[in-house]
Structure 1
Amino acid sequence: MGVEKLAALRALIGELEQALIAYSGGIDSTLVAKVASDVLGDRAVAVTAVSPSLFPADLEDARIQAAAIGIRHELIETHELENPNYATNPVNRCYFCKSELHDRLRGLAQEWGYDYIVDGVNADDLQDYRPGIAAAKERGVRSPLAEVGISKLEVREIAKSLGLPWWNKPAQPCLSSRFPYGEAITLEKLQRVGHAEYYLRQQGWEPCRVRSHGDTARIEIPQAQIPEFIHQTDLEKLVHYFQSLGFTYVTLDLEGFRSGNLNGVIAAGRDR
C-alpha cells in the first residue's frame, strides 16, 4: 500500500511542475519536500515561517533536514502575534496563523512565478479540529498527502522506506498550542514556555510538553516514564529554573503526554 501511495504522491507532485512547500520541518512537510525535490528538482522550494511561536530548535532541525534532502530552503518572517484575533487565543487561533502564513507564501509564489503552494496536511489531519486547514484551502493551497489519502502512520512508513532518519520524529506543533484557549499569548509567554520545554529536552525527556496555565507550568511526559522522571530528575533544580523563567508553580500531569489535549475542551463543548 505504501509503495502505491508513494507512486501516486510522486505522480501528483509531478503534475504540478513546480511547487512552493510550506515547510515546518515536521515529518509530514519533510516527506512532501523530499518527494518534491526528487521529482521536481530545482523547481521545488521549501519555505519555513519564522516567528516567536516557532521553537528555535525546530528551525535548526528544518535547516539540517532541508540541506540533507538537497532542496532549496528559504525563510520568511510572519507576524501573527500582532493580530489580536490570534493573540487573544480563540479556539480558531490557527485559522489566523495560517492566514498570515499563506498570504505571505502567496506573495512569494507570485513573485517567483510559482503556480502552486503545497503543505504537509495528511489524511488524518482532516479528521481532527484544524481551523488552519480552512485558511489554507481558501487560499488555494494543495495538500498532496491528504489528496492521495496518506495517513500519519503511512507518512512515517514511507519516510522510513526513503531512508529519512527523521521518520519517527515526534510531532512538534507551534508554541502557541501550549496555552489553553482564551489565555492571551504574548512574546514573553512564548519565550518562557520555549525555554522551559528546551530544558526538558536537554535532559532527554522527549516527547514532552510544558503547558502554561497563567503562572503555572504543567509538564507532560509519557505516562510510563513518570516514575523514572520523578526518581532521575533533580526536581529542586527544575523548579528553581522554571521559577526563574517566571512560573510560580510547577506541576506534573499524571495523565501523561497527550498531543493536542487542549482541544479536549472543544470536544467537550460539542458533546454537551
Structure 2
Amino acid sequence: MRRISGFALVSLSLKKTRLIARLKGFEKLAVALSGGVDSALLLAVAHEVIGDGLIAVTAGSPIHPQQELNDAKKIAGMLGITHLVLDSDEMTQPGFLSNTPERCYVCKKHVFSGMLTLIRKTGIRHLAHGANADDVGDYRPGLKAARELGVVAPLMDAELTKPEIRQLARQRGLPVWDKPAMACIATRFPYGTPIVLEKVVQVRDAEQVLAEAGFSGCRVRHHGALARIEVSLEDLPVLIADPMRSRIALRLRQIGFLHICADLEGYVTGSMNRALTPGAKD
C-alpha cells in the first residue's frame, strides 16, 4: 500500500486478496447474477473459491431487458455453474408500481426475499450481490434492503471500484467486461409517475431502437408523451444529425411517444434522483 497526499491507495492485488478472503467464509453461496460485469466477476471468483457449493440466481422480469437474462445464462453456462431463474413478479407489488423514492427499496426487498426462499430450497442459506465501492455515493435504497436481509456485497467489502472490476473481468476473459451498466427500466420514470407495463414496454422498445442504431449505454427517460434520450456526449452529435435524427424520431413516434428530445447533458447516471429533496434520501 502506498500513500499520496495523506491518502492510502489500496492496490488492486490487495483488493483481490480481500475479495477471496471474504468468499472463503462461505462453504455454500448463491450469487444474484444480473448479466452485468459486477455480478459476473463475483460469480467467477466465487466459483474458484467455493467450487460446487456455488449457484447463480437471476430475476426474470419485464423491468429488465431480455438481453440481461440472456447474458446471465451465457455467463453461468460458460463457467459451468447451476443457474436458477426467479419470476420476480415486481409488477404485482403496489409499493413498486407507485414509484415513490422508496421504489428501489421495495423492489430489492421483494426480489432478494424471493431469491433467498428459492436458494434455501437447495440447501444454500447465503446470497451475495454485485454492489461495488462506487455504489456508496449515489442514492441507492436497495442497498438498505440487502443489508436488512443479510445479502452480502463482497465486491463492496473488498473496496473494488467499477473500473477495477472491469479490469479484472477483462483479465479473466469474461465477455461482459466492457458491457455498459444497465439499471432496471423503472429508473427511466420520474418519481411519482406510476409504473405500468405499457410504458415499460415503450421504454424497452425505444432503447432497443437506439441500441440497434449503434448507441451503447443509452437511456430513454419516460416523461409521459415525451421521450428524453440520453446518450454519451461523444454520441450526441451523431444522434442529432440527419438522417439519424429523423430516423430515431420516426421510430419513437411509432412506439407511442408524441415528442422526442435529446438531453444536452448526455447520459447522466441517476439523473432522476435530482428531483429528490435531501430528506427523501435519508
TM-score (norm 2): 0.91
Amino acid across the alignment from 2:133: A
1:226 aligned partner, one-letter code: L
The counterpart of 2:108, out of the listed 98, 112, 116, is 98
Percent identity between matched residues is 38
- Correspondence 1:207 to 2:217: yes
Q: Does 1:56 align with 2:66?
A: yes
The match for 1:24 among 25, 34, 55 is 34
Superimposed CA distance per residue, residues 173-215 of structure 1 (whole angstroms, 9 cap, x where no aligned partner): 0011111111110111111100000010011111211110011
1:193-232 alignment, distance < 5 Å: 193-231=203-241
**Are the aligned partners of 1:34 and 1:71 in contact in 2 as well (CA < 8 Å)?**
no
CA 1:37–1:267 in structure 2 vs 1: closer, same or farther (change >3 Å)? Answer: farther
Show the counterpart of 1:45: 55
One-letter amino acid of the counterpart of residue 128, structure 2:
V
Question: Which letter does structure 2 place at the counterpart of 1:98?
Answer: K
Q: Shift in Å at residue 231 of structure 1?
A: 2.5
Mapped to 2, the partners of 1:5 and 1:161 lie a distance apart of 15
- Structure 2 gap segments, 5+ residues each: 1-10
Offset from partner CA, 1:17-60 (integer Å, 9 cap, x none): 11011111111111111111122222111111011101112211
The residue type paired with residue 62 of structure 1 is A
Q: Which residue of 2 aligns with 1:192?
A: 202
Alpha-carbon distance in 2 for matches of 1:2, 1:66: 25
**Which runs of at least 4 in structure 1 moved beyond 4 Å after TM superposition?**
267-271
2:76 maps to 66
**2:172 corresponds to 1:162:** yes
RMSD: 1.7
Shift of 1:127: 2.3
Q: One-letter code of the match for 1:206?
A: S
Q: Distance in 2 between matches of 1:198 and 1:174?
A: 14
Match of 1:88 among 98, 104, 117: 98
Deviations 1:205-230 (A, max 9, x none): 11211110011111111122211222
Distance 1:268 1:203, change over 3 A: farther
Structure 1: give runs of 5+ residues left out of the alignment.
Answer: none
Q: How has the CA–CA distance of structure 1 residues 234 and 150 changed in structure 2, closer, same or farther, with 3 Å as cutoff?
A: closer
Secondary structure of the residue aligned to 2:25 is: helix
Q: Which has the higher helix share?
A: 1
Contact 1:48–1:75, Cα closer than 8 Å, also in 2: yes
SS of equivalent to 1:224: coil
In structure 1, the residue matched to 2:119 is 109
Contact 1:80 1:96 in 2 (8 A): no
Q: Distance in 1 between matches of 2:279 and 2:49?
A: 44
Counterpart AA for 1:91: P
AA matched with 1:218: R
- TM-aligned CA deviation for residue 165 of structure 1: 3.1
Q: Distance in 1 between matches of 2:205 and 2:82?
A: 30
TM-score of the superposition, structure 1-length normalised?
Answer: 0.94
Query: Quick one: which of 3, 17, 22 aligns to 2:13?
Result: 3
- C-alpha displacement of 1:2: 1.4
Shift, 1:251, TM fit: 0.9
Whole-angstrom CA distance in 1 between matches of 2:82 and 2:242: 42
In structure 2, what is the Cα distance between the partners aligned to 1:217 and 1:69? 39
2:217 is paired with a residue whose SS is coil
Matches within 5 A, 1:247-258: 247-258=257-268
Determine if contact 1:42/1:72 at 8 Å carries over to the other structure.
Answer: no
**C-alpha distance in 1, partners of 2:137/2:249?**
38
| Mean Cα deviation higher: 98-107 or 235-244 | 235-244
